[in-house]
Structures are given as structure tokens and as C-alpha cells.
Structure 1
Amino acid sequence: MPEKSKITSSELGTLWLTYQQKTMILRFLEYFIEKADDEKAKTIMTELYHEIDPYVEKIMVIFQEEVAVIPVGFTTEDVNKEVPKLYDNGFDIMFVRLIKEISMAMHTLNITMSSREDIILLYKDLTAITQKYYNQCTQYLIEKGMLARPPYVSMPQSVQYVKDASYLGGLNPFRNNRTINTVEVANIFHAIESNIVGMQMITGFAQCASEQDTKKYFSKGVELSKSFIKELNEVLLQDGVQTPAPSGGNATRSVIAPFSDKMMMYCTSLFCSFAIGGNSVGTSFSLRNDLSAKITTIMKDVFEYAHEGARVMIKHGWMEEPPQMENRDELRK
């Protein structure tokens, strides 16, 4: 058998990120499985746990073979399964579904940055697992009546072409823009839905965080999510389009933390990164200038919020540093 080539810097970076994300997901699942009061939800999460866990081990083996230090990631010290439920009414599956959505994007991107066959196959396997459980979570929420469905629309009867530049609209608030198209509805609806789950998650974090600065940070995130949801809802309502209104998934009255502040901050950072990436795609496919401007402003606010969170994590020594490239200037000295 030919000897494996060494992993590249890109492969090292993506494996490091994947290890961080997967160890975080396992800790969340451990708590949600322990507190699950619905057998079907518990089965979905338990089976997902058992499918993900071996891949954390595989990544550890790759690091060992490359004589690279194994990241800390998140351990049993970051979760306390004995505390009361922090979330109720299907939030566990809502959270897992959104995490699987983030994972799908990450694994697909990671494949494009890998060249060693075993690493490509690792991400390919993780993609299949992610798609499988994303679908299971989606169908579960539909069955329980907890998933807001996008609005229906009359089917087009003929092909139409854009006739002039007025289709793009402008930034004048007093000018009537055209009705939003279905591509724009899809992206706005998705952004609202993701923000609702994120707001529910961070509401629980704000209730139970140990440090005052993290509690303040999470509280700010709740208000930021509310403002985004309000702005995007108004876009849909202007054209009489139904807005997302999922039922359930709320935080309980518990103020006892099941997760470490470190892990809750990392999870929030992950959601912010996903929001920036998702909104970038939404902006690129929106042909109405006012919508692009609105989403760009939201992205700027999320970016600033994420950087504020990074400063909090650095202050507390919670931000694990990714592997660095060699500092050639220092080596020359």
C-alpha cells in the first residue's frame, strides 16, 4: 500500500474546526438525551450521538498519526446533565436540526479544501449522516406541528423575462418596489426561522450564564435577534406574505446552567458565523436593492456582535487557538 501523504495546512484547519464542532454537539446531545421526554426525539438524538462519536475518534487518530497535538474541544466538564431542563416543547430537535444545517454547509466546504482521500471520505460520510438526521428532525417537527412551513404561491403559467432595470428597485423608502420573488422569500423566511431558534437558544443562555459579562452578552444577542426578526417580518408583511410562526421550543424558568459559559459562547459564535454565511448567500441571490442593503446591515451587526463575543472569550481564556502557520520572521531571528 502506498504511504499516505502528510495532511496539508487546509486539512489540518478543517479537521481542527470539525473536532471543535463535533465535541460541542456531543455535549449538547448528552444533555438533551438525558432530559428528553419524547421517545422518538430521544431515539433520533441517541442514534445521532452514536454515529458522530466514532468520527471524533477518527480525527484524533489522524492528529496522532501526524504527531499533532489533539485539540481540547469540549469535554464532560462542559455539561451537567443533572440540572433541570433549560428548554421545553421540542427545542432539542429544533436545535439539532439547525446544527445539522450548519454541519451540511461545513462538510461540503471542507471537502473542497481537502485532497487526501481518507479525509475526503470522512467528510463525505459526515455529510451523509448530517443529511439523514436533518431529514429526520424536519419530519419529526412537521409531525408534531412545530415547523413553520413557507407560504404557498400560485404556480407560474408562462416564462417571464425582466423588462427593465426597475426590477432591481432602489433605496428610496418612498418608492414602491416590486413584490418580492420566491427566491427572495425563501432566503428571508429561512433567515427569520434561524433567528427564532437562535433567539430561543440564547434566551436560555442568558438566564443561566455564570459570568456577568457573558450574561450581558447573551441578553444583547436576544435583543439583536428580536430586531432582525422584526425587520425581516416587515419585508414579508409589506407584500402580504405569511411570516414564520413556529410553536414550541421555548426556554423554561430554570436559571441553573447545564452548559459551561465557554461552550455557550462557542455555540453562539458558531451560529453567528452561520448567519453571516447564510445572509451572504441570501444577498447574492436577491435582486431587489433595498433587500440587499437591509441584509448587509444585518450582517454588519452580526459581525460586530461576533467580534464582541470573541473579546469576551479571549478575556476568560476560552478561545482555543487554531494551529498556526510558521512565523518566518521569528524563525529568521
Structure 2
Amino acid sequence: METHHIRLTSSEVGALWANYIADSMFVCVYKYYLAKVEDAEIKKVLEHALDLAQQHVQVVTKIFKGEGHAIPLGFTENDVNVDSPRLFSDEFFLFYTKNMTKGALVTYGAILPHTFRNDIREHFMSCISSTMELFNDTTNVLLSKGIEVRSPYIPYLQEVDMVEKQHFLAGWWGEQRPLTAAEITHLYSNIQTNNMGSAVITGFAQVAKSKDVREYFRRGKEIAKKQIEVLTKYLHKNDLPAPVTWDAQVQDITESPFSDKLMLYQTSMMTAAGMGNYGTALSASPRRDIAADYVRLQGEIGLYAEDGLNLQIKHAWLERPPHAADGDQLMK
């Protein structure tokens, strides 16, 4: 019996294309990390991360070839120099991997509901499952080495209590209520994410070849520093600790392990993830002052992201993603 071939939908094509671009970058990143890592436990985590990225690239390549769809350029061996000096510490490799797996789980979770064909659903379910495993392995190693960054502790509730006053939503003037557990979670997580971004682009600013790209990274570091201060003030007002920075994990070198193209793309990924994180935090933060700060900070990094895309276009590094047919061109 002849089986009808079901074409990929726009959401499936877009998700596979983005999956290929991101994981081709991670293949480059983890090949470099593995060339520098010294700790045996951390090396196993990095090998696991590289294996997953390579698998994802292979799966997407096979699907696109079967569909007659162009394979993205993505990132290749031309975008990495594994022989360059060490830019980050072994511990940073772990922090980076933990942060990337957190972002990947959010991304894959958002993609899955928009997949329909069985093989595409199976691919992204496998991505979620394997990324969860990598997340778990990374967390276990961080905990075993005593360097995992835990969120703050708060008292257990002894009884159920209902909110009775509109003051629960206040925050701009007068007495402010204590932060909720959800607000603490997002403040702490977003500070961690900014710390990671700051460390990454500190290293990138040292080694980038193009002057405008270096300046872009330096500007990003200043934005991250300012946003960390804004978010940290809420934790300190509630006598809660804030995560420490990771800038000390960056080594003092000037020879770049990565192409400017790769580093700019990595930065755009982190910026996009940061905007999404702020949106999620906004929905879980009833206090008006916190919500207002998230809106303002989100707008600030949105403008930074736009400038990053303009830089990619200027240097001819931005691949055009899959898109709808241009009706005007078809009619000519």
C-alpha cells in the first residue's frame, strides 16, 4: 500500500533549522572545551554535551535531505580554533553547560506542541529527554564539587493563609511585602543568567577581532552589570543572598578560540533567552515595582539584541531563516 508523504509544517521547518544552527555552534564550542579541560569528571559531562549536539545535527541533516530542503551553513571547523589558549576555567565549562541546558529545555518545551509529524515529535521528545539527562549529570558534578549555586532558603509555611489586601500587589511606595518564593526564584535565576552572560562576553571582548564586535561585547557587559544591580537590590532588601559573579573564571588571553561570527551568534542566543526569562518572571511577579523593572530591562536588552542582529547583517553572518513565499515576487 502506498503511504502518503506528509510535508513539514512551517513550525517544524523553523524549529529544525534553529536546532541545526544552535547545535552546530555547540559542536564547535565543546570541541574547544574538550581540548582544554583537565578535570576528568567535567570532561565526561562535556563529552556528553558534544555527543548530543552532534546527534542533533545529524538528525536534522537527514530530515532536511529527505525533504529536499537546503542544509543550513551554521558553524563549521572554520569557526573554532581548538589550539588557541584556554579562555575559560574548567568550572566555567560546567556553569556554561548547566546554563545552556536550562535554556534548551525551555526552547524544546516551547517547540514540541507545534510539531505534528511523528518523526519530528520523536526527535524533539528525544532532545528533551537527553537534555534532561545532561542537566542532571551537570548538576550532580557541580554539587559533588561544592560549586553549585543554590537559590536562597526561606521559612517553611506553618499554616495556609489567604491574601486579603490589595497591598499584596503594591511596591512603589510605602511598606513593601516580602518577596514570594516565585519572585525570589526568578530574581535569583536572572541574576545567575546575567552573571553567565557577563563572563562569556568578557572573554569574547578580549579576543574578538573586529573593533565593532569588541565594542558590542563591552557594551553588553555594562548592560549585564547594571541589570544585575537592579535585580540584586530586591534580594538584599529582603536579607537574601545574591549569586556571585563568574568573571574571575575568564583567563587573560587575546588569541580567539572562536570566530567573531560564532561569538556574536552565541551572544544573540543568550540575549534572546534573557528576554524570554524576563517575560516568564514578569508573569510570576505580582509586585508592581518588580514587574515594572522587568519591563524596562526587557526593553533595554531588546534594543541590544537588535543592534547585534544589525552587526550580523553588516558582516554577512546572518543566515536568512525559512520564510513564507513572497507573493509580490511570485506575481512578477
> Using the alignment, how far apart are the partners of 2:245 and 2:201 within structure 1?
17
SS at match of 1:242: coil
Task: Tell me the residue number matched to 2:21.
Answer: 20
Residue in structure 2 matched with residue 242 of structure 1 by the alignment: 241
Paired with 1:39 and 1:109, the residues of 2 have a C-alpha distance of 34
Contact 1:80–1:259 (CA<8 Å) still a contact in 2? yes
Tell me how far apart the structure 1 counterparts of residues 160 and 207 of structure 2 sit (CA, whole Å): 54
1:272-293 CA-partner distances (Å, limit 9, x unpaired): 1100111100000101000000
User: Which residue identity is paired with 1:307?
Assistant: E
Cα distance in structure 1, aligned partners of 2:105 and 2:329: 39
| Deviation beyond 4 Å, 4+ runs, structure 1 | 246-249
Query: Residue 245 of structure 1: CA displacement?
Result: 2.3
Alignment pair present for 1:127 and 2:133? no
Q: Which amino acid aligns with 2:87?
A: L
- 1:4 deviation in Å? 3.4
Match of 1:5 in 2: 6
The equivalent of 2:226 in structure 1 is 227
Match in the other structure for 1:50: 51
Aligned partner letter, 1:70: I
Q: Work out whether residues 7 and 116 of structure 1, in 8 Å CA contact, stay in contact via their aligned partners in 2.
A: yes
Deviations 1:173-215 (A, max 9, x none): xx22111111100010000011111111110000000000000
Q: Is the 8 A contact 1:91 1:248 kept in 2?
A: no
SS of the residue aligned with 1:294? helix
Structure 1 range deviating more: 273-282 or 321-330: 321-330
Deviates more, 1:40-49 or 1:113-122: 40-49
User: Is contact 2:204–2:217 with CA below 8 Å preserved after alignment?
Assistant: yes
Distance 2:243 2:34 in 1: 27
Shift of 1:250: 1.3
The Cα shift of 1:257 comes to 0.5
Aligned-partner Cα distance in 2 for 1:182–1:300: 25
For the 8 Å contact 1:146–1:248, the answer to whether it is kept is no
Structure 2 equivalent of residue 139 of structure 1: 140
- TM-score, length-scaled by structure 1: 0.96
**SS of equivalent residue, structure 2 residue 320:** coil
Contact 1:92/1:249, CA 8 A, preserved across alignment: no
What does residue range 35-184 of structure 1 map to in structure 2 within 5 Å? 35-172=36-173, 175-184=174-183
1:183-332 equivalences under 5 Å are 183-245=182-244, 250-332=249-331
Change (3 A) 1:15 1:247: closer
- Tell me how far apart the structure 2 counterparts of residues 156 and 180 of structure 1 sit (CA, whole Å): 14
What is the DSSP-based 3-state SS (H/G/I as helix, E as strand, rest coil) of the residue aligned with 2:249? coil
Contact 2:37 2:90 in 1 (8 A): no
Measure the CA separation in 2 of the matches of 1:96 and 1:281.
21
Distance 1:249 1:119, change over 3 A: farther
Give the 3 Å change call, closer, same or farther, for CA 247–298 of structure 1 in structure 2.
closer
> In structure 1, what residue type is equivalent to 2:274?
A
Q: Read off the aligned partner of 1:301 and give its amino acid letter.
A: E
TM-score of the superposed pair, with normalisation by structure 2: 0.97
The runs of 5 or more residues in structure 1 that have no matched partner are none
**What's the CA shift for 1:57?**
1.1
In the alignment, the residues of structure 2 paired with residue 329 and residue 210 of structure 1 have an alpha-carbon distance, to the nearest angstrom, of 40
CA distance in 2, matches of 1:261, 1:248: 20
Unaligned runs of 5+ in 2: none
Shift of residue 246 of structure 1? Answer: 6.1
1:148 and 1:246 in contact (8 A); partners too: no
Task: Give the superposed CA RMSD.
Answer: 1.3
- Using the alignment, how far apart are the partners of 1:227 and 1:4 within structure 2? 52
Distance 2:93 2:282 in 1: 30
Q: Is the 8 A contact 1:170 1:177 kept in 2?
A: yes
Q: Compared with structure 1, are the counterparts of its residues 3 and 54 closer, same or farther at alpha carbon in structure 2 (3 Å cutoff)?
A: farther
User: Could you give the per-residue CA deviations for residues 57-79 of structure 1, whole angstroms, max 9, x where no partner exists?
Assistant: 11111111111110000101000
**In 1, Cα distance between the equivalents of 2:245 and 2:132?**
22
Conservation of the 8 A alpha-carbon contact between 1:147 and 1:246 = no
Task: Give the distance between the partners of 2:75 and 2:314, measured in 1 at CA.
Answer: 18
